Amino acid sequence: MRGNDKARVTDFLTLILQQSINGIYLGCLYVIVALGLTLIYGVMNQINFAHADFVTVGAFVAFFAATRFLTKMLGLSDTTGYLLSIFLGLGAGALLGLMVNALVFAPLRNRGDELRPLIATIGVSVLLENGQLALFGPIPFQFDSPFAQQTIRFGKIFFSQQSLLVVIVAALAIGALYVFMKFTYLGKALRAVSQDRETAGLMGINETFLIGLTIVIASALAGMAGALLGPVIVLTPFAGVSLIVKAFAIVIIGGFGNMEGTIVAGILVGLIEAFTVQYLGSGLIDLVVFSLLLIMLVVRPTGLIAERREENV
């Protein structure tokens, strides 16, 4: 093989590796957003249309915490302030989930009508969007992360520290959720409720508490996702809406209510997006992703990993 041919092969392999890294980063962002949707559906067999706005709330909490309170008022460094803001976004999401469940979802859950809680999530979404619009206005905020300004290089391969942080946090969140669901009493109880609520109740499991816990965990994941997404997206009261459509697509592709399927589908969509940008252009991203969604609905409507109620979560 001549020198020019070797150089072309090397450049091609470098490009493949670079786009794969970009795709994994994007996939981890999507997985963090989609996991909350999957968790709620797996346990409650319901869809939370307000999930996108929980993401936005987490992003705004992290933004004001990192740029105003932690750095300017407490004098912390930008790096420390941003890292702490991720935990504050997680906490804000959990608190919001607790409040919304107590005030909206729980009172409607025992009415015997599955449509009312679904409509309530739409109402909560509209309320949160317009509430944030009234508080923050329509002008976008610029959320600068200190990690986004630092680049890590390995030869011709490079990525930002923000990308690495997203992958690490996503891996830790997935690992913690897996351990919780598989090895703790509450996690096993949640799996029992998702499999058969009536039987779980007869065994002494508090269904009401566990459903509330599910919403809190899913909302906490959404808040944390917002803190990680804030520096990546244009931060407005409607920032989460554009992401939630793709998150729904990932949940469907992976298999409704299936955590493993959601993780695989999220990484797959991230990789598809990265290579679509490289070879077809950014304008065709949604076309390619939702074409995949339609193909999956026709060829394999159960998703990449077939739904098994006893193993949904």
Higher-confidence residue of 283 and 226: namely 226
What 107-114 contacts at long range (C-beta under 8 Å, 24+ apart), as own/partner pairs, is: 109/208, 109/211, 114/46
* Helix residue ranges, H only, 184-238: 185-195, 197-202, 207-229
250-277 pLDDT per residue, tens: 988 888 778 888 999 999 999 998 888 8
Q: Residue 8: pLDDT above 80?
A: no
Domain boundaries, the chain: 3-311
Q: What is the pTM of this model?
A: 0.89
Residue 313 pLDDT: 56
190-210 pLDDT per residue, tens: 888 888 777 777 787 888 888
What would the mean pLDDT of 107-135 be, rounded to a whole number? 84
Are the C-beta atoms of 33 and 226 separated by less than 8 Å? no
CA 110-116-122 angle, to 5 degrees, is 130
The DSSP output letter for 251 is H
Residue 165 pLDDT: 92
Q: Residue 216: pLDDT above 80?
A: yes
Q: Is 158 helix (H, G, I), strand (E, B) or coil?
A: strand
Residue 271 pLDDT: 92
> What mean pLDDT, rounded, does the chain reach?
85
Query: Which residues, at least 6 apart from 203, have a Cβ–Cβ distance to it below 8 Å?
Result: 192
What would the mean pLDDT of 171-198 be, rounded to a whole number? 87
309 confidence band (pLDDT: 50, 70, 90)? very low
16-66 pLDDT per residue, tens: 898 899 899 989 989 998 998 888 888 877 888 889 899 999 999 999 999
State the Cα–Cα distance between residues 281 and 21, nearest whole angstrom: 18
312 confidence band (pLDDT: 50, 70, 90)? low
Are the C-beta atoms of 90 and 220 separated by less than 8 Å? yes
What kind of architecture, by CATH, is found in domain 3-311?
Orthogonal Bundle (1.10)
- Nearest one of 302, 105, 114, 139 to 214, comparing CA atoms: 105
Residue 288 pLDDT: 85
